[in-house]
Every structure is written in structure tokens, then in C-alpha cells.
Structure 1
């Protein structure tokens, strides 16, 4: 099992570890300080981002990985060998982080709309529930997520009226 660790926004790391808690590779030593690695299935879009964006480890880069999220690299039948392609560069990490943010926002927006229109729960209460469930309470401002949601709703309404 080859893993890769890199730095992303803290609230996204918290979201990913809760979202994929059933896909965690538990380290052999449970007292290890290294975090569990998320093992994605090939049906998940992030799996393909990791596969496509992994490169051979540059000679001038440190082998000591730092960051707040760890993934098990894909081991497809055909294609890149994770023993060779085992490095995610800074630019690649930003692309993966953006994909994670899109996934998180899609889930959040669906959750907010379903709670509002199917269960009558106000957006603010739903936002608090979502942030608490994914352990993001101290990591992200709910108001910023709410503003992004309101901007998205406005864009959708404008496109609908065209």
C-alpha cells in the first residue's frame, strides 16, 4: 500500500475523513501518529484525480510527507505503477482540493435544499447540522458557506429565467 500525504484546507480534510470513514486504511500500529489513509474506490471521481495527477517522485523533493490528508494511491490493473508514480505536487494538490470542495458543496447544497423544502428545516439550522456532522465547527465559518450557497442559488435562478 503506497500512500501520499499533502496539505489542503483544514475543513476539507475534516469533511473527507468523515465522508470516507468507511474507506479508511487503519495503520498496522494503532498507536502510530500517522493518520489513516483514505482508500478510494475506482467509482469515485477523486480516485481518478489521484491516478492522473500522480507523478514520479522528483529527486529534489523530500521523502518526508507533510499535510493533513493521506490517500492510498490507486493501484489499477493497467496504467501507472504507484511504486513509481507516488508524488502529488503542489499544483496537483490544488486541483484535488478544488474537486473535494466541489464534492462537499454539492452535498451541502443538496442537504440544505432537501431539508428546507422536504422537511421545513431552516437553512441556518441545516448548515449547523452539516458542519457539526462533518467536524468542521472550528474550521470554517458557516456564514461563508451560507453566502456561497446564496450566490449559487442566485446564479441558478438567473439561468432558469433566461
Structure 2
């Protein structure tokens, strides 16, 4: 098993560990399903470890590098640079939003639960209370709703 450790926003790391039923521990790697878009993204972004770069793992999230039947050998392609870690962070953010936004809308329009209460439930479920402000996530959700409404008018 070959692993790679990267740094991303702490609340996204905590979200991903909680989503995979693990405690927030960067020494414990996350093994992704082969049908996960993140699995394929990590496989595409791994490169040969550059000379002069430390092999000491640094970061707040560790992944098991995919071992496909054919393609890149994880023993050779086991490095993710800073630019690639930003792409992975963006993908994790997208996954979180695709779970959060429908959850908020469903609770509001099917269960009658206010957005604020649903947001608090989501943040508690994934243990994000100390890592991100609910207002920040709510503002992003409201911006997204405005963008969706503007696109519907066109």
C-alpha cells in the first residue's frame, strides 16, 4: 500500500475523514472507492517523486494511491505537488457542496426545517464546528442559489 499526504483546508480534511467513517488522523490513510471521482483524479495527478523533495509526509490528509490493473505504478508515481493538491481540494469542496446543498433544500422544502438548523446539523454530523463558521457555508449556499435563479431567468 502506497500513500500520499497533502495539505488542504482543515475543514475539508475533517469532512472527508468523517465521510469515510474515520477519525481525523492524517497518519491513517483514506482508501477511496474505485468509482469515486476523487480516486480517478488522484490517479491522474500522481507523478514521479522529484529529486530534492523530502519523502517525509507533510499535510493533514493521507490517501492510499490507487493501484489500477493497468497504467501508473504507485511505487513510481507517488507524488502530488502543490498545484495538484489545489485541484484535489477543489474536488473535495465540490463533493461537499453536492452533498450539502441538496440536503439543505430537501430539509427546507420537504421537512420544513430552516436552513440555519439544517446547516448546524450538517456541521455537527461531520465535526466541522471548530474548523469552519456556519455563516461562511451559508453565504456560499446563498450565492449559489442566486446564481441558479439567475440562470433560470435566462
Please give the TM-score of this superposition, normalised by the length of structure 2: 0.96
What is the aligned partner in structure 1 of residue 99 from structure 2? 107
1:123 to 107, 115, 129: 115
1:59 to 51, 54, 60: 51
What is the aligned partner in structure 2 of residue 89 from structure 1? 81
1:7 and 2:2 aligned: no
- Equivalent position SS for 1:100: helix
Deviations 1:10-33 (Å, cap 9, x if unpaired)? Answer: 0000000011127x9xxxxxxxx8
1:42 Cα shift? 1.3
1:60 Cα shift? 1.1
1:41 Cα shift? 1.3
- Counterpart-to-counterpart distance in 2, 1:158 and 1:117: 20
Structure 1 segments (4+ residues) deviating >4 Å:
none
1:149 Cα shift? 0.3
Deviations 1:84-132 (Å, cap 9, x if unpaired)? Answer: 0000100000000000001101111011001001100000000000001
CA RMSD after TM alignment: 1.3
Please give the TM-score of this superposition, normalised by the length of structure 1: 0.91
What is the aligned partner in structure 1 of residue 65 from structure 2? 73
2:28 to 36, 42, 47: 36
Deviations 1:54-92 (Å, cap 9, x if unpaired)? Answer: 001111100001111000000000100000000010000
- Equivalent position SS for 2:62: strand
